[in-house]
Structure 1
Amino acid sequence: MKSSTYTLLRLGPHHFAHLRAVAEGLDVGAAAERYLGIEHGHQAVTAHRVVVEGLRAIARRRGDRDWRLIGLLIRAPEAGAKPTLEDFVAARELDGWSEAEVLEMYAEAHPEDQRAQRRTRLRLRQLELLKQLEQASSETPQLTDRLDGWLAPEMAQRLERTGLLLLGDLHDQIQQGGRWWSGIPAIGQTKAQRLRDHLYALLPHLAERKRHFAAAVASTTAESRAGVSSSLTPLSSPALPSSSSPVADVLEPVAETDAGAIEAWVLARAGAPATAKAYLREGRRLLIWLQTEQRRGLRQMRAEDCRSYMTFLAHVPPQWSSKANVAALSPGWAPFRGPLSVSSQQHAVVICTALFDWLVTVGYLSRNPWQMVNRRLGDDQAADALDTRAFTPEAWAEILRCVAAEPPSPARHRMLFVLQFVEGTGLRAAELLGAKLSQLKPHRAGWVMQVYGKGSRNRVIAVPSQCMNALQDYLASRHLDWPAATPAETPLLASALDPMAPITYPALYQTVKRWLAKAIRQSALPPHEQTTALRASPHWLRHTFGTRAVERQAPIEAVQRQLGHADPRTTMRYARTQIDRLQSEMEKAFGGESSNGKA
């Protein structure tokens, strides 16, 4: 077995904790594993000896005459079988004797153990010397300290080879959560846990911060929820009230705590599970921040707190972020998953403002401090304005050509239908997955479709002839005669194995990704266009509809209605993406003869 080394470069509180534990009787191996962060049990004796020798050298230089006591194993006196003085008196029936006479007889019967007394005095001197040396020589580890000053050389070198040089680097790595150690050679879960424990032994304030943070999280879910009838579980989406559950029964009274008020708001205003999840997440993030950073609750929040929270969202500290998807309150968990984009920051502010508006309306708060600050963040300067997440006409044509050229199969027929139908309707993936033939209706010379879409809202969309032709071909490939002999509840999009069975979103996502990637790689597109198109997801088909519709001069209000956008500003982004038209018009104005001043 390769011999391991342990070098004492800097003295910290953990070294003295190790020696005190040994002095109190803890096994050297257990103490070294707990306080010195050793990797293997066979290193314990070496590590202990190095600490003892290093501290003895410091004590000798100081002139401490008790330096030899450092590391000396002084057994505590064993508890003898001496009776108490009262028992001694009772046993010998000495009630009539004087105290002096009783003490004299007790001393003769049970003489003091001089060696035990000496051991007791030596242990007290040993512990006192450790205390004095710790006050004089111990350093407080800092996040900016190098790892090789506080860890065993083998471990420090292993971490440095992965780019971790400072204690702060190791702390940031641990904060990622999940299997944060996976990139470090020869480190498994057990060693990783030991290393983490050792780091927090060196930097106990970080461990205290994590415990304080966990307590704040727990308080947002474990507070009394008087007046709130919900089945919310910690950090999960709420069970929304059914249509038969009147909201008034949930909200009267609203709540007695901030956590309860947030849950009541979610129950009252969230119209879908995804919305409830987003509302609950943002409400709890705000409450945790208020409790841990500002030491106040929702009722005490001020306008300056709103501005501070917006700054916080723009620069989420590392300890608030866990990049891995770990369970709530487990090691590495935090309310965020990393830095927020500008759009995510704006979304959080909008939700928080809506929360406070509702709390004012129901009387839980007297005012909304968010109404006193400028909540607009503007555009993200780092965003790529050319990234429309829509296929160019050239890429779209190549995709259709490549898919159509594949041998006939149920999967190919389905993919052609998805591409042509969504390009002409702009349906969301969930809307397409839930669509049935009964939703298609003839109207005048064409067809329309009633869609049950986002926000649990119905809307009617136009179904152009391109889409109807694609649907007829797809139904024929499924051996369905529509509209004559096909059940009205037949799904528009079906399994490749069963023409009457719908498919799930994961199945649709994987199918679209696989076919698109295959078509793009087989296409004649330039490499840079292939790279862009390979990032595509099913939602790109909806963006492609919006972009093509605006390019072909469809009115914005018609595109908005077809897409089901509640806000026309959402639809206007497709108009802003018409760079080709912009280039053409500006070239007409300033290119060629116009640029020479000719009429």
Structure 2
Amino acid sequence: MPTKSDATSTCLRRMGPHHFAHLRAVADGLSVQASAQRYLGIEHGNAAMAAHRAVVQRLRSMARRAGDARWRLVGLVIRGMEGDEHPALADWAAANGLEDWSEAELQELYRQAFPAERRAARNQRLRQRQIEALRALEQVASEAPQPTDAIALWFDPRLAQRLQANGFLLLQDLRQAVARGGRWWRAVPAIGETKARRIESYLRQLLPGAGTALAPVADAWATPSAAGRALAAGVDQRPHFDLALQPPSGPNRAAFAGVAITAGSDAEAVEQWVAARAGSQATALTYRREALRLRLWAAVEINKSFSALTAQDCLAYMTFLEHVPDRWISRRRAAPMEPGWAPFAGQLTLASRRQAVVIVASLFAWLVKGGYLIHNPWELVNRRTGDDAAQHALDTRAFEPAVWAALVGWIESQPSSPSRERMLFLLRFTEATGLRASELVSARLSDLRPVGGRWAMQVQGKGAKKRIAAVPTQALRSLAGYLAARGLPPLERAPEEAPLVASLDDALAPIGYRSLYETVRGWLRRALRWAPLTDAQRRSADKSSVHWLRHTCGTRALERGAPLEVVQAQLGHADPRTTMRYAKAQLQRLQDGMEKAFGE
């Protein structure tokens, strides 16, 4: 699909029905820009005209090689309606690619294209001949795109290269990703939501029905053999996830009488575990998610409940997490257990797999201690996953000083708005305080107080633990500017109940975690696209999020000489080794020592 920047490299390795639909629409009077947008997935005027000319030239060449005299009618713009202003002959010839025609031929075609009023009937006949010629040529020159066609056959070469680099080799690969929904394009460079929607529209022109949802065809308790037969037959096997039916209890279920856990089912046991052990709402959501995934896997894949799982089943689940089948993945915004929903949004990273196993193993340990289960099968398997080979040890989630300055500078250059002022506050305040996203959205102005001539704030941290964080001058200045932008008085006189981070519509209404995440992510994506950065800098910060602000605080504080224990207390790390991840001092000592030994 051509874009503005790729207009000169329009890919026309094959002519499809959508190309002929475009030419017929133009012949019927639709503008080139409008027709290209509708049938070729193009929006920019320059790209539309370039793509139109490429289609016309390709079809003319094919018709001429076939000896079809109607090739002259392909792409010919026919006017003649009352009130039309006729272009100059030279301009008209250039616009239609006829510069090398003889003067006599040009004059004849020009008279046919712009006839006098008395020739209106003849003009209509010429247009009809053009439409008939296009339909006849379509029968011999058009090739219907097939799902198994390579992406490169139908898409612009540069775009095709980016899609292929991210695993979209065939049209059906792209169709399957689009059908799952969600942000399928987020890993493809130079493609945002707007361009992704154009790609989807173009794909629907190539393969009608490309945007339809993948229909669930499997029963909730489908056996592996049934799933295998469906996959072998080429059927998309997406289970309908439903735990209304409880798999039978296994031999590991303890006697019910007198146990500390009063649950009568796995679902009730999970809820009691979450209520007893989750220290925050975010932790509760994570616990429920991982427990639900294990319950669904056990029920759908092997028809077992928690009390029937063995050590071999635990190993099988760990293998399952390493390569989650496509039928278990859905990016559609659907409620759990509703059609189109699946437990996973994509393949898990090694860190996510490690977290999942730790959580379900702790769940089973709790169920054993409470008397719900007799043994914990997770204790019998090796749960160590090692380090992620795909993650470089020198990678960081902190913005480099030059990147940070460029991003902040670009956001500052944008027109003033409530959203911009909030984003600038988040950048400067979080860089100086290192608060987590959850701590930012839960904080109130009453949490900030003057202490010893400076300011500090109470933070409701991880695990519902409170700590005191310093609020340095940079953070205070950013807060003062943000309060003024919200129309509130200075901190000393501002309403104590006002949130630290507010909604754009109400200065006294808090913002949710999802809104905060999307605000930061949206601004950072735009800044990374337009700020003066190198390609390497953009790639290194491509996955930045609100949590990068916290890492930037820790890294910058240690770089500027803040003691490790001070940074640890500010960030609320229970283990100093966590804080040491932000420090480069050890690496510098290592480099200095080896340079002293082997340097010249």
TM class, shorter-chain normalised? 0.5 to 0.7
Output one character per residue of 1:523-553: Cα deviation in whole Å (capped at 9) or x when no partner. Answer: 4433321443454322221111121122234
- Rounded to whole Å, the distance in 1 between the matches of 2:566 and 2:369 is 35
Equivalent positions of 1:355-370 (< 5 A) are: 355-370=363-378
Residue matched to 2:592 = 588
Give the superposition deviation at 1:341.
1.2
Per the alignment, in what secondary structure is the counterpart of residue 451 of structure 1?
strand
Aligned: 1:158 with 2:150: no
Contact 1:175/1:319, CA 8 A, preserved across alignment: no
- Rounded to whole Å, the distance in 1 between the matches of 2:149 and 2:518 is 38
Q: CA RMSD in A?
A: 4.5
Give the superposition deviation at 1:381.
0.6
Equivalent positions of 1:400-419 (< 5 A) are: 400-404=408-412, 411-419=419-427
Residue matched to 2:117 = none
Aligned CA distance change for structure 1 residues 517 and 315 (closer, same or farther; 3 Å)? closer
Given residue 324 of structure 2, which amino acid in structure 1 is its aligned partner?
V
Aligned CA distance change for structure 1 residues 394 and 307 (closer, same or farther; 3 Å)? same
Contact 1:315/1:339, CA 8 A, preserved across alignment: yes
- Rounded to whole Å, the distance in 2 between the matches of 1:587 and 1:279 is 42
- Rounded to whole Å, the distance in 2 between the matches of 1:333 and 1:582 is 46
Give the superposition deviation at 1:469.
2.8
Per the alignment, in what secondary structure is the counterpart of residue 569 of structure 2?
helix
- Rounded to whole Å, the distance in 2 between the matches of 1:502 and 1:550 is 32
Give the superposition deviation at 1:378.
1.5
Output one character per residue of 1:286-338: Cα deviation in whole Å (capped at 9) or x when no partner. Answer: 23333444454322333333223222222323333335455555665443333
Equivalent positions of 1:460-471 (< 5 A) are: 460-471=468-479
Output one character per residue of 1:434-459: Cα deviation in whole Å (capped at 9) or x when no partner. Answer: 32221112222422101123333322
- Rounded to whole Å, the distance in 2 between the matches of 1:305 and 1:221 is 15
Contact 1:360/1:367, CA 8 A, preserved across alignment: yes
Contact 1:433/1:502, CA 8 A, preserved across alignment: yes
Equivalent positions of 1:375-386 (< 5 A) are: 375-386=383-394
Contact 2:568/2:576, CA 8 A, preserved across alignment: yes
Output one character per residue of 1:487-528: Cα deviation in whole Å (capped at 9) or x when no partner. Answer: 222333345665444444455445444544555556443332
Aligned: 1:491 with 2:493: no
- Rounded to whole Å, the distance in 1 between the matches of 2:407 and 2:368 is 53
Contact 2:430/2:550, CA 8 A, preserved across alignment: yes
Match of 1:187 among 189, 197, 208: 208
Given residue 274 of structure 1, which amino acid in structure 2 is its aligned partner?
A
Aligned CA distance change for structure 1 residues 217 and 155 (closer, same or farther; 3 Å)? farther
5+ residue gaps in structure 1? 1-153, 224-250
- Rounded to whole Å, the distance in 2 between the matches of 1:194 and 1:400 is 45
Aligned CA distance change for structure 1 residues 428 and 190 (closer, same or farther; 3 Å)? closer
Per the alignment, in what secondary structure is the counterpart of residue 495 of structure 2?
coil
Given residue 330 of structure 2, which amino acid in structure 1 is its aligned partner?
S
Per the alignment, in what secondary structure is the counterpart of residue 492 of structure 1?
coil
Residue matched to 1:119 = none
Give the superposition deviation at 1:203.
5.7
Contact 1:174/1:196, CA 8 A, preserved across alignment: no
Contact 1:414/1:474, CA 8 A, preserved across alignment: yes
Contact 1:421/1:470, CA 8 A, preserved across alignment: yes
Residue matched to 1:393 = 401
Aligned: 1:347 with 2:327: no
Given residue 392 of structure 1, which amino acid in structure 2 is its aligned partner?
E
- Rounded to whole Å, the distance in 2 between the matches of 1:525 and 1:439 is 38
Residue matched to 2:324 = 316
Aligned CA distance change for structure 1 residues 570 and 254 (closer, same or farther; 3 Å)? farther
Aligned CA distance change for structure 1 residues 289 and 534 (closer, same or farther; 3 Å)? closer
Match of 2:245 among 219, 226, 243: 219
Contact 2:423/2:523, CA 8 A, preserved across alignment: yes
In percent, how many aligned pairs have the same letter?
44
Aligned: 1:281 with 2:302: no
Aligned CA distance change for structure 1 residues 348 and 561 (closer, same or farther; 3 Å)? same
Match of 1:546 among 539, 554, 564: 554
Per the alignment, in what secondary structure is the counterpart of residue 385 of structure 1?
coil
Given residue 593 of structure 2, which amino acid in structure 1 is its aligned partner?
A
Per the alignment, in what secondary structure is the counterpart of residue 441 of structure 1?
strand
- Rounded to whole Å, the distance in 1 between the matches of 2:171 and 2:341 is 18
Contact 1:176/1:324, CA 8 A, preserved across alignment: no
Contact 1:175/1:318, CA 8 A, preserved across alignment: no
Equivalent positions of 1:88-487 (< 5 A) are: 158-161=146-149, 178=180, 183=203, 185-188=206-209, 214=240, 217-220=243-246, 254-326=262-334, 328=336, 333-404=341-412, 411-478=419-486, 480-487=488-495
Equivalent positions of 1:30-109 (< 5 A) are: none
Contact 1:307/1:373, CA 8 A, preserved across alignment: yes
Per the alignment, in what secondary structure is the counterpart of residue 574 of structure 1?
coil
Per the alignment, in what secondary structure is the counterpart of residue 426 of structure 2?
helix
- Length, aligned pairs only: 407
- Rounded to whole Å, the distance in 1 between the matches of 2:400 and 2:363 is 40
Contact 2:498/2:508, CA 8 A, preserved across alignment: yes
5+ residue gaps in structure 2? 1-141, 152-169, 185-199, 219-225, 250-258
Output one character per residue of 1:457-490: Cα deviation in whole Å (capped at 9) or x when no partner. Answer: 3221111122123323433455544355332223
Contact 2:428/2:478, CA 8 A, preserved across alignment: yes
Give the alignment's TM-score, normalised by structure 2.
0.57
- Rounded to whole Å, the distance in 2 between the matches of 1:365 and 1:222 is 14
Given residue 475 of structure 1, which amino acid in structure 2 is its aligned partner?
L
Residue matched to 2:59 = none
Give the superposition deviation at 1:426.
0.7
Worse-matched range after superposition: 316-325 or 305-314:
316-325
Contact 2:242/2:337, CA 8 A, preserved across alignment: no
Per the alignment, in what secondary structure is the counterpart of residue 420 of structure 1?
helix
